[in-house]
Amino acid sequence: MKRLDNKWALVTGSSRGIGQQIAWGLAERGCNVIVHGREAQHLEATLAGLKKFNVKTHIATGELSSPAGVAQLIEQAKAAPGPVDILYNNAAVMSKYESIFSINQAEWDRVFQINVWALIAICQAFAPGMRERGYGRIINLTSGIADQPNLVVYSVSKAAVDKYSRDLAAEFKGENVLINFLDPGWLQTDLGGPNAPGKVESVLPGALVPALLDNDGPTGRFYGAQEYKDLER
């Protein structure tokens, strides 16, 4: 098993669901984890699950629905005992299910603030430090959603995440700061809903693949977590 001992990872939206699974998966490999939720009390279950791995933990809170909340998250994450080596931009919201012709500006603004603008601000906050240290792994969660015009706001926000990730990867090409984007699959989470075909646990081990890349490995590419179901944990 490849180890991540002495590394620090920030996982946004890690109070439950996919983010929680990723936090636990990283800790299983010895990675220290900065967990994030809107409020500290929401993180109790995640922190309880991390105890058995004997890693260091740190809490960062903040509502990603506002620039002030994003700034709070960044400030608290930077106060962790170690710098962020691995960043999972997992937190996201689904858009309202409505006619593509009825969507108002407020809905575009709401979804893009959390799914795109917050993600960009967090990358801007931590990627330069990775450059200085000569090591970094940024994984931005995307979606395989397609042909769903009633969810166009969500799908367009994820398309923006894909394009931003590719361009950020080009900025760091050759510097061992690897930026990739990950589709966890359609899973039974608050966002995916109870009728999704996959259990949330199936995001592992695939979701960890881009965090475990060797130095100067692939960057600017898409990963599908469900393609690695048979990979050894």
Which of 154, 164, 223, 228 is flagged as catalytic? 154
Q: Quick check: 141 and 148 in contact, CB under 8 A? A: no
Residue 37 is inside which H or E element, if any? strand 32-37
- Is 164 one of the annotated active-site residues of the chain? no
Q: Quick check: 24 and 203 in contact, CB under 8 A? A: no
Q: What b/e sequence results for 76-99 when a residue is b if at least 16 CB atoms lie within 10 Å of its CB, and e otherwise?
A: bbeebeebbbbbbbbbbbbbeeee
Cα within 13 Å of Cα(197), Cβ side = 4
Structure tokens, 66: 């506002």
Radius of gyration (C-alpha) of the chain in whole angstroms = 17
Q: Which residues are catalytic?
A: 154
